[in-house]
Amino acid sequence: MTYASAERAALADLLIQLGQDAPTLCEGWTTFDLAAHLVLRERRMDAAGGIALGPLAGYTASVQESLKARYGYAGLVGLVRTGPGGLYGLIPGLDELVNTLEFFVHHEDARRAQPGWEPRELPPGLDEILWKRLRTVGRLQLRRSPTGVVLHRIGGGVALCGRRNGPRVEVTGSAGELTLFCLGRQRHSRAEVTGDDEAVARLVNASLGL
């Protein structure tokens, strides 16, 4: 079993446990919305563009709602569990390359929106894969950061991101916590953030993304 398939299975189990009305860290989304999003991005490539492109967001949202109406919550979770679908199931290696990070983050979106959550202890192999992905994705996500950012991975590894000039903020943690921080979940990451107080506040409150 790959780490992508393990995170997929664990997320599907959690979605069934939580039910369709539980909150997530994705603003405005319940677990029902999250399940529909995951199915859409794999199986409705015609509508996936609106996930990142604002002008297409309306169409993406309408397709997401139609998936909810067509399959229901249990049906969508079943499709998530039996994936990868679409191109992810046709191109060898694409699921592991892309979905390891995708399903890790959305697994934590569901976990960390619930009371009493604690960080998981990740397998060393998953931590290594997340760090490898983050060295590329993190730079993209932080390219509009209001500060310079130095990522320090516990266990080894440093990456420089964000602005080249001005104050720098140091962000230290496991690859998983750094991943969540860089992908816009700053307040739900257990990474340690140090630096000038104003710069830290600007980074923690920034809308990070492409």
Higher local confidence (pLDDT), 114 or 86: 114
* Summary mean pLDDT of the chain: 92
Task: Give the H or E element holding residue 63.
Answer: helix 57-82
- The pLDDT value recorded for residue 210 is 52
How many C-beta atoms surround the C-beta of residue 103 within 10 A?
25
Place of tokens 């932080």: 142
* Nearest-angstrom CA–CA distance, 13 and 26: 19
Nearest to 38 by CA among 117, 94, 90, 107: 107
- The pLDDT value recorded for residue 31 is 98
- The pLDDT value recorded for residue 157 is 93
Kindly list the domain boundaries of the chain, sorted by start residue: 3-111, 124-204
Higher local confidence (pLDDT), 164 or 190: 190
Does residue 93 register a pLDDT over 70? yes
3-state secondary structure labels for all residues of the chain: CCHHHHHHHHHHHHHHHHCCCCECCCCCCEHHHHHHHHHHHHHCCCCHHHHCCHHHHHHHHHHHHHHHHHHHHHHHHHHHHHCCCCHHHHCCCHHHHHHHHHHHHHHHHHHCCCCCCCCCCCCHHHHHHHHHHHHHHHHHHCCCCCCEEEEEECCCCEEEEECCCCCEEEEEECHHHHHHHHCCCHHHCCCEEECCHHHHHHHHCCCCCC
Does residue 54 register a pLDDT over 80? no
Does residue 209 register a pLDDT over 80? no
Most confident listed range (54-58, 83-87, 133-137): 133-137
Does residue 122 register a pLDDT over 90? yes
Does residue 176 register a pLDDT over 70? yes
- The pLDDT value recorded for residue 58 is 87
Taking each helix axis from N to C end, the angle separating 31-43 and 57-82, rounded to the nearest 10 degrees, works out to: 90
pTM for the complete prediction? 0.93
Percentage of the chain surpassing pLDDT 90?
74
pLDDT classification of 4: cutoffs 50, 70, 90: very high
pLDDT classification of 204: cutoffs 50, 70, 90: very high
Of 45-59, 148-162, 177-191, the least confident: 45-59
Pick 124-204's CATH classification: 3.40.50, 3.30.1050, 1.20.272, 3.30.70. 3.30.1050
| Residues 68, 72, 73: CA angle, nearest 5 degrees | 95
